[in-house]
Homo-oligomer: A and B are copies of this chain.
Amino acid sequence: MNKDSTIRIKSLSGGAAAAAGFMAAGVACGVRDAGRRDLGLLFSELPCETAAVFTRNAVKGAPLCVTREAIETGGVRAVVANSGNANAATGERGIEDARAMQDLAAEALGIEASEVAVASTGVIGVHLPMGRISSGIRAVSDELGEGGAGFAESILTTDTRVKVAVVRVEVGDRTVIVGGTAKGSGMIHPNMGTMLAFLTTDAAVEKSCLTETLNRVTDRTFNRVTVDGDTSPSDMALLMANGAAGNEPLRLDSPDYPIFAEAVEGVARTLARDIARDGEGATRLVEVAVDGAASEESAAALAKSVVGSSLVKAAVFGEDANWGRVLTAMGYSGVAFDPDGVELWFGSIKVFSGGEPVPHEEAEANAELAAGEVKIRARLSEGDASATAWGCDLSYEYVRINGSYRT
């Protein structure tokens, strides 16, 4: 690692390494083909408070089990991650391999093993090539300080773009940075489908406040993204706070807490939208906004049902403003509502109201689906709660990618 790095406000392009005191790097160690970066390391020079959210899948990858233990011990300040192999459904040897990754990273960074989180993403049911991983960890620790771009790249699988976001806000008289990077693409769904998200901040935040913040933000952002309805055994979101900004540690009742919380949510929302936009085979980002619902929970369930419907997704791909499929998807969401009280829009075109179609130029409605960002809106007459969910269209390319992912 780069012993000369100093704690200061860095470039806002740095993603997970943008906040003061964080460093990151990514290298190619040969888990994936063709020299692609596949091994990443993220490190805070200062001790951290760290909160985590894990997949709800009953099948859990080995790295997740090891990381959960570290989080419970407290003080996680580093992440070692690989792509190309999820180290899931790999039995006892999988756990040993994940622990070995943790130990190797701790040794390279000069910290305790319990301070290192481990994350793996990729194919399921294949043991990790530990020789390559081991060389990779040594190599990547020498690159620390290169900024967040290499790390952001190293965690990608079928993603076509790196996903980074950074926000700067004033907390009291201090400038605070919240940054992050994520990977997604396929198997993304409400409840943390194959998704890794690493959020960092130089704010000082009390542990319970950090945990509450990550839970709420995850629920409103990452858990509102769906690509194909599948969820994965390997997914996690971490939020690490190292306090380098020197502010009074934030609590839920701190006057400036809302500013900080909105910064974290803004970073996570940007990453979530980028994950949806980069869904496997996606040609368009689809944003579904529901308002007039009885509760935020039911608004979110309705929005997620629409954005997750294969028929809606295929209609968007085909630029066919088939609002009947939107209404139908709301109908099977499990939320009770009065269909006659629903209004629907594609972009600015109102297509349904009062239980009946609203006369409109179909070509204009179809044109709303031709944009790179498609907006579908539903207004109910049940209350005043709202929620937004994000997804993508369903294309031939999705089928091609997932018919031959391993080959």
A residues apposed to B, CB below 8 Å: 56-60, 86, 88-93, 123-126, 186-187, 189, 191, 228-233, 308-311, 314-315, 317-320, 322-325, 327-333, 335-337, 339-340, 352, 354-357, 394-396, 398-407
Contact = CB atoms under 8 A, between A and B. Distances in A.
A328 B92 contact: no
A89 B353 CA distance: 10
Contacts of A309: 229-230
B398 A314 contact: yes
Contacts of A402: 310-311, 314-315, 318, 394
A56 B330 CA distance: 12
Nearest to A340: B91
Contacts of A90: 355-357
B93 A57 contact: no
Of residues A59, A229, A319, A398, which shows the largest number of chain B Cβ atoms within 10 Å of its Cβ?
A59
A315 B308 CA distance: 19
Contacts of A86: 324
A55 B123 CA distance: 38
A324 B59 CA distance: 10
A88 B60 CA distance: 42
Given A187-B311, A396-B399, A320 B406 contact: yes
Of residues A189, A324, A336, A401, which shows the largest number of chain B Cβ atoms within 10 Å of its Cβ?
A324
Contact of A310 (B228, B323, B396): B228
Nearest to A329: B230
